[in-house]
Amino acid sequence: MQNLEIELQAQLSTKNSLENSLAETESRYGCLLQQIQGQINSVEEELASIRCEMESQNQEYKMLLGIKTRLEQEIAQYRALLQEGQQDIVASQGAFQGGKSSHSYSSTSYSHSQTGDISGKN
C-alpha cells in the first residue's frame, strides 16, 4: 500500500511538473504569437498605405498621360498649321512682295521656334 502511495505521489508530482511545463510553453508561444500578430498588423498597415499611395500615383499618372496626349495633339495641330503657313509663304513669295510677306515669315519663324522648344521638352 505504501509503495502504491509513493508511486501515486511520484506520478502526481510528474503530472504537476508536466502541467507547469505545458503552461510555460503555452505562455511562451502565446507571447511569440502576439509578437508575430503585431508584426502582421504592422505589415498590413504598411501594405494598405502603399496600396493607397499606388492608387494615388496611378490616378496622377493617368492625368499626366491625358495631358501628354492632349499636348501631343496640339503639337501635331501646330505643326500642320505651320506646314500650311509655310506652303502659303512659298506661294505668296512669288505673288507678293513687301511687308505682308515679311510679316508672315517672321510670325511663322517665331511659331516654328516655339514648336521646336515644345518638342524639345518632350
Q: Where are the beta strands (DSSP E) in 37-108?
A: none
User: What is the rounded average pLDDT for all residues in the chain?
Assistant: 83
Residue that wins the pLDDT comparison between 117 and 61: 61
Q: Is the pTM of this model over 0.85?
A: no
Report, as an integer, the average pLDDT of 40-49. 98
Nearest to 107 by CA among 87, 80, 82, 79: 82
